[in-house]
Amino acid sequence: MRLTHLSVVLLCVALVSFGLMMVSPIDPIDAYLGPQMAQVSPEQRELIAQRWGFDESPAVQFGHWLRQLVGGDLGWSHVYNQPVSDVIGQRFQRSIALLGGAWLLSALLGFSLGVVAGAKEGSRLDKIITTYAYITASTPAFWLAILAVLLFSVMLGWTPTCCAGPAGALNQDVSFATRLHHLLLPVATLALLGIASITLHTRTRMLALMRSDVAIYAFAQGASRIDVAWRHGLRHASLPAVTLAFASLGELFGGSILVEQVFAYPGLGQATVAAGLRSDVPLLLGIALFTTLFVSVGNMIANTLYGVIDPRIRQGEL
Amino acid sequence: MRLVLTSQSDQPRLRAAFSLGITTLLVMGLVASQWLLGDSAQQMQFDARLAPPSIDHWLGTDALGRELWARTLAGLALSFWVGCLAALLSTLIALSLAALATLSARLDALVSLLIDTLLSVPHLILLMLIAFALGGGTQAVIIAVAVTHWPSLARVLRAELLHLRQAPYVRISRALGKTRWFVLHDHLLPHLLPHCLVGALLLFPHAILHEAALTFLGFGLSPSQPAIGVLLADAMRYLNSGYWWLGVFPGLGLLLMVLSFERLSSHLRRAL
Amino acid sequence: MLTIDQLSLQLPYYAHGHASWWKRKWATCLDELSLQFSAGEVHAVVGASGAGKSLLAYAIMGLLPPAARLSGQLNYHEKPLDEQRQRQLRGRELALIPQSLSALDPLVRTHRQVTWAAQRAGHSSANAWLSALQALHHYQLDARAQQAYAHELSGGMARRVLTAMAHVSQAKLVIADEPTVGLDPHQRQRVLAALRGLADQGKTIILITHDLRHALPIADHVTIMREGKQVETAPAGAFQGTGSSLNSAYSQALWLALPDNNFATTTADALKREATVA
């Protein structure tokens, strides 16, 4: 059932993004040729158009593209001069370290901060945490990255300003420690941004719980706030937090585009920007579909987890 | 009458009124400054290029000797108008699609499929796709932001509408033979308007942030406009040379504006 | 055991359609209550909904929202029952059987919840597990109910779980807030008998209910409340015949309105009848 829904949504995304590319003012032949378009004669253009079917109606083109897609052929990226699937594969490997690190950090820290703040509503700690969360929630991701570069790389010189490894070094020569060093600041920036939403969400859940009948009754039994937060709060707040963590993969990916751009980190995000700015339509479409799959699977996991963990839903389904 | 079950010092409505006042003052100041200053404050001064913040140059100057404070104010004003238009459009889309969804089960399924589709593409990627398809520029950004931000509000409005249609007073009103317009105007709108208002206000900070991000990446407003995203993208080039003010102040301005609207919307939501 | 002297409670609210939209006002929810509860007794507090019964329970337990304004004096065993002492005594000497079944945590199995209640009352963890088991058996909750989540319990079972949680605390003062709502007559009798049993062990029971009829068979004293005010406190025996030994017209009307007393015969009718007999 969920898989059918997922494929319908994916098909819709393919349709929408392909449609958007069709209405774009970029000439598909120019886009295909990239920088070489000046060297090509009108006759050659005609040939290319015939070869790729650019003259056909949009519906035929879409069918053609979709058939290739199902066959695993995402097309050719002229920016990187590689098949799109290769570009996405390589870039995603680099991005996954950034995304995964930031995701884990923000989920764990965000949840703990939210529980603490919610359990001690109105305390100084709560005020500090919520103020922090409100401010980071309103902070432009790329600006925070710029600040981080200014402070830690330019002024203090603790971390490199750019890239995934030293300039000029070959990929296989870069040691694990150097990689980590280059990853440190981007991961921290991305995590810092992701913490806010999970913290605020968890705090809201905790506040609701601490005012609920369950908590009032626990207080009537002589429980302290810590007792209620630990025994009841963790149970009630952890599910929504896990769900939100999986559901916020899209936001995380958006943040990574901006962070990668500022740190010049050669991941998928940077490739997306390059594809968009240099009209690499096949790559842009490929990335859109790939990230949609990524986000949808995250959402699906979130929904499934809910059913597995919550006893009220678990038994409702049986 | 509604009981307030929060702490002693907490008065949600007082806070909301307070934060409404502050935000209105800020916005009025912003708009007035643009109206009074015009472009004169952004003149190039070739004798004061990349000057650090001082008494003469409050927030420093950029590579062409333009005052950063004037550029930042202009950028904020631009963000404000773009955000306003986008939030307004988005609210209209949300309201009409929510109304459409309540008409029939088939339309409802269609709208919810549309929502699922939009929500499953990462926000920024979708924004880039739309801005790319429309060829960039102010219009493209406004449309892109408007088209991507309506789903959450539409869900709220749809639920509210479905609930309202079942409400006894609406059904009685219908049974009494009141016109559709009367029901809509006298029963439905008074309930929906606060939701729309708060929804639009909630959208607004997101709209501004996404506009800035899109512009920063080079898909949005044109580089000749003093948008915050453009200012920060320019600043990127001077990061390693120690011209820190270029990177700090425009972003700080944006943060303050987003923060004040974010606070206002959440106070209002709690107070209503 | 517990005396309440001139207890008043105000809660903030926002008036609707008022000119100063952001200004909050204060509603008086309890108005100068003075009550005395003694050991070994069931003291029923009766009133319509909105009369402030549950708020009285929360005031005694110290569970009111922080925004509440409270005045007056509470004394427990001749010593003032202030916020700090309430915190010490909650769960150990003072217990509450809440009105709402949503007080049970939906994500925790029954036995574990009762164990927690025992731990909070000061039992060691091993001991708590056992005494929880005993309490559950005492209220005839079988192994399946012990391992059940709240949504799997029937209304009657959930009530018994809540009673078991109060029982396991060994509290000297038990406040039962509408313990019979939603129960069939048989279950209701069981819960009321259990409360009477606790009182006979020397505990103080405050039974909060909207139904005078259910309270009378087990109560020693009855307090009638209306809109935050204490209308009358009388021994349960005063509710008999035409209720002529009751002081206030409201209590008499309430008594005479019960089904067994010819339904809705107003006091005026009753007086007229008395006159004709004479």
Token match 């005052």: residue?
B67
Contact A78, A32 (CB under 8 A): yes
State the smallest CA–CA distance between residue B140 and chain A in angstroms: 11
Please report whether residue C261 resides in a domain.
yes
Residue that the structure tokens 């199902």 belong to: A70
Q: Which range, of A47-51, A70-74, A308-312, C264-268, averages the lowest pLDDT?
A: C264-268
CATH number of the domain bearing residue B221: 1.10.3720.10
Least confident residue range of A44-48, B159-163, C42-46, C247-251: A44-48
Judging contacts by C-beta atoms under 8 Å, the chain C residues touching residue B267 are: none
Number of domains in chain C: 1
Judge: C151–A219 Cβ closer than 8 Å, yes or no: no
C63 and chain A: CB distance < 8 Å anywhere?
yes
At A92 the pLDDT is: 92
Q: Which residues of B touch C50 (CB under 8 A)?
A: none
Cβ(B102)–Cβ(B166) below 8 Å: no
Q: Give me the phi and psi of C25, to 5 degrees please.
A: -120, 175
Taking an 8 Å cut-off on Cβ atoms, the answer to whether B10 and C14 are in contact is no
pLDDT along chain C (278 residues), means of 10: 90 70 81 91 90 90 87 90 90 89 91 94 90 91 91 88 88 91 85 90 92 90 91 88 82 83 54 48
Quote the pLDDT of residue A287.
Answer: 93
- Taking only the tens place, the pLDDT of each residue in B189-203 is 888 888 898 889 889
Domain extent at residue B174:
2-37+70-271
How close, in Å, is residue B19 to chain A by CA atoms?
Answer: 15
pLDDT digits (tens, 9 = 90+) for A148-180: 988 888 888 887 777 776 766 666 667 788 888
Q: Helix H segments across C183-238?
A: 185-200, 212-215
Residue B232, chain A, CB below 8 Å: the answer is yes
Residue B44 lies in a domain: no
Q: What is the pLDDT of residues A198-213, one digit of tens each?
A: 999 999 999 999 989 9
pLDDT at A88: 92
Q: In this complex, is the C-beta atom of A238 within 8 Å of any C-beta atom belonging to chain C?
A: no
Please work out, in degrees rounded to the nearest 5, the angle formed at the alpha carbon of residue B213 by the alpha carbons of B208 and B217.
150
Could you tell me if residue B146 is inside a domain?
yes
Q: Are B172 and B85 contacting, i.e. CB atoms less than 8 angstroms apart?
A: no
For residue B33, the Cα-to-chain-centroid distance in whole angstroms is 20
Whether residue B116 is contained in a domain is answered as yes
CA distance to partner chain C, nearest, from residue A219 (Å): 8
If one counts the domains in chain B, the total is 1
Does some domain include residue B61? Answer: no
What's the farthest any 2 CA atoms get from each other in chain C?
69
Q: What share of chain C is helix, strand, coil (3-state, %, to 5)?
A: 40, 25, 35
Please give the pLDDT value at position A231: 92
Say if C246 falls within a structural domain.
yes
Radius of gyration for chain B, computed over Cα atoms and rounded to the nearest angstrom: 22
Looking at beta carbons, which residues of chain A come within 8 Å of B205? 138
Residue count of chain A: 318
- On chain B, the residues whose CB falls within 8 A of the CB of A147 are 247-248, 251
> Residue C175 forms beta bridges with which residues?
C96, C206
Cα(C116)–Cα(C120) distance, integer angstroms: 6
State both tokens at C42.
Answer: 């069931």
Q: Does C95 contact chain A (CB < 8 Å)?
A: yes
Does A52 contact C at CB distance below 8 Å? no
Q: What is the pLDDT of residue B125?
A: 92
Whole-angstrom distance, CA of residue B158 vs CA of residue B174: 20
Cβ contacts of A33 within 8 Å, gap of 6 or more: A40, A48, A78
CB-based burial label for B197 (10 Å; 0-12, 13-18, 19+): middle
Task: Read off the pTM.
Answer: 0.83
- Provide the pLDDT for residue B86: 94
Give me the pLDDT at residue A41, please.
Answer: 78
CA distance A135 to chain B (A): 7
Contact B255 A142 (CB under 8 A): no
Q: Is A311 close to C102, i.e. CB distance below 8 A? A: no
Q: Is residue C262 in a domain?
A: yes
Specify the pLDDT at position C12. Answer: 85
Single-letter code of the amino acid located at B228:
I
Return the H-helix or E-strand segment holding C230. Answer: strand C229-235
Q: Is residue C251 in some structural domain? A: yes
Summarize chain B as % helix, strand, coil (round to 5): 75, 0, 25
Q: For residue A88, which of A252, A296, A269 has the smallest C-alpha distance?
A: A269
- Look at A33 and B219; give whichever has higher pLDDT: B219
Does B46 reside within a domain? Answer: no
Q: What's the token pair of residue C258?
A: 């019960």
Pairing relationship of beta strands C94-97 and C173-177 according to DSSP bridges: parallel
Q: Minimal CA–CA distance to A183: which of A165, A199, A205, A196?
A: A165
Q: Which chains touch C (3 or more CB pairs under 8 A)?
A: A, B
Identify whether C259 is part of a domain.
yes
Nearest CA in chain A to C97: A217
Decide if B26 touches A, using CB distance below 8 A: no
Range of the structural domain that residue C270 is part of: 240-278
Contact A312 C169 (CB under 8 A): no
Q: Residue B223: what pLDDT?
A: 86
Q: Is A5 within 8 Å of chain B by CB?
A: yes
Query: What pLDDT digit, counting tens, does each position of A217-272 carry?
Result: 999 998 989 999 999 999 899 888 988 898 889 899 999 999 999 988 889 999 99
* DSSP string of B243-271, one letter each residue: -HHHHHHHHHHHHHHHHHHHHHHHHHHHH
Record: contact C15-B1, CB cut-off 8 A: yes
Contact: C14, B16; criterion CB under 8 Å? no
Q: Are A26 and A298 in contact (CB under 8 A)?
A: no
Cβ of C108 within 8 Å of Cβ of A220? The answer is no
